[in-house]
Amino acid sequence: MPRSIAHQSVDELGGPSSVLVRQRADHVELDRLLTELDGSTGSRQEEVLNRIDRLVFSHAFAEETVLWPVLRRVLPDGDALTLQVEKEHQEVNELVSALERDGLDDPRRPARLARLVEVLREDVRDEEDVLFPRLQEAVDAEELRRLGRRWALMRRLSPTRPHPTVSRRPPGNALSGLPLTLLDRTRDLVDAGVRRAPHPLAPAGRAVSQALAGLAGLVERIPSSRAGDEPPTSR
């Protein structure tokens, strides 16, 4: 079996700009946030979850648009391998959507949080132990660095919130990516302003955030946003 990227040096992975090094750094940060999430409650728990969301969804979108098409092209079983991770990404989208929709007092919240942590850790293991070692075998170090630069750019231009009905594959993810990114990142700024704003202004900020969420929901339901999905991840 190929060696997990978790146990390789930066040089073995292709250097600091390699996509494998960049991916592993995000995984280390995710592990830190999941540890911080454990035992947190109330508004503190919501704050940590928001940071996890901002990391996870931009990371996954960049994978699905930059890396998974390469894996499907260079590996004979690339379609099956990426589909497994896409199913994990889909479940994360659905769990986070349910947590946001039902709030802090929902009795299903502890079970959903536990499952979210479990799926995120499974996703990291599948990528570090299976997908990325196979990618490392199939392409050279220069290609890993090229992919790293493309992935890093896409990560900065990706949605930051759950969109469970959007396709996990082209063309749907590519067509919906720009409008959802603009809406999500604007909403992030609005929500940050609400947290800092004087109390009388907070309701107006929350109303703007909800309006942006409604627009994102419309983008999700456009047929072109759902094009290309496989049955196990289509909703």
- Total structural domains in the chain? 2
108 and 223 part of one domain: no
70 and 129 part of one domain: yes
196 and 153 part of one domain: no
CATH code for the domain in which residue 97 is found: 1.20.120
149 and 178 part of one domain: no
The pLDDT of residue 229 is 85
Average pLDDT of the chain is 94
The DSSP code for 224 is: G
Range(s) of the domain holding residue 206: 163-235
CA dihedral (178, 182, 187, 188) positive or negative: positive
125 and 231 part of one domain: no
The pLDDT of residue 2 is 85
| pLDDT tens digits along 166-211 | 999 999 999 999 999 999 999 999 998 888 877 777 888 899 999 9
Helix (H, G, I), strand (E, B) or coil at 103: coil
87 and 144 part of one domain: yes
Angle, vertex CA 133, rays to CA 172 and CA 70, nearest 5: 30
70 and 178 part of one domain: no
92 and 138 part of one domain: yes
207 and 144 part of one domain: no
58 and 155 part of one domain: yes
pTM confidence score: 0.94
Helix (H, G, I), strand (E, B) or coil at 164: coil
Query: Confidence band (pLDDT; 50, 70, 90) for 114?
Result: very high
70 and 4 part of one domain: yes
What is the Cα–Cα distance from 20 to 6, expressed in whole angstroms? Answer: 10
139 and 220 part of one domain: no
Contacts 24+ apart (CB under 8 A), 103-111: 104/42, 104/45, 104/46
Residue 95 near residue 112, CB atoms below 8 Å: yes
Angle, vertex CA 144, rays to CA 63 and CA 73, nearest 5: 60
3-state helix, strand and coil shares in percent for the chain, rounded to the nearest 5: 75, 0, 25
